[in-house]
Amino acid sequence: MAESDWDTVTVLRKKGPTAAQAKSKQAILAAQRRGEDVETSKKWAAGQNKQHSITKNTAKLDRETEELHHDRVTLEVGKVIQQGRQSKGLTQKDLATKINEKPQVIADYESGRAIPNNQVLGKIERAIGLKLRGKDIGKPIEKGPKAK
């Protein structure tokens, strides 16, 4: 077998231009002569302290766009959860453990801060035995076989 040294590797290549060199006028002109794609873009308010100024267009756009916000659980649902939980003698932590959620989730639902999630509402309904969705909020759930 021929002896070869697999540990040493020689790479011959020229280093590319640094960022400062690539931005120079000379480098840009050379790249254009070679036919390469050159993209130039002006930075908005570059070198000025204008990041907090609001232009007229931005204010106009804010007035025109609609308010986008998520619906929250109603306070009525929160009160029903609280009353149902207390009637069963459960703390927020106990109820959360029972439905495999964090105690903060129960606190958010009771205070009306939570964004409604049907899966979580369903688990709470089954745990406290009261309806939380639809028109019969606060009424007991009828226990019976599911109709197919």
Average pLDDT of adjacent 10-residue blocks, the chain of 148 residues: 65 70 78 81 64 59 64 90 94 94 94 92 94 88 67
pTM attached to this predicted model: 0.52
Instruction: Give the domains, in start order, of the chain with CATH numbers.
Output: 75-138 (1.10.260.40)
User: For position 10, what pLDDT does the model report?
Assistant: 72
Classify residue 95 by burial, with Cβ atoms within 10 Å: 0-12, 13-18, 19+: buried
Residues facing residue 130 across a β-bridge: 140
User: For position 79, what pLDDT does the model report?
Assistant: 94
User: For position 138, what pLDDT does the model report?
Assistant: 87
CA 119 to chain centre: 19
Residue 48 vs residues 53, 54, 56, 93, 127: alpha-carbon distances, Å: 11, 14, 18, 52, 59
User: For position 94, what pLDDT does the model report?
Assistant: 94
Q: Cβ neighbours of residue 40 under 8 Å, at least 6 residues apart?
A: 28
User: For position 26, what pLDDT does the model report?
Assistant: 84
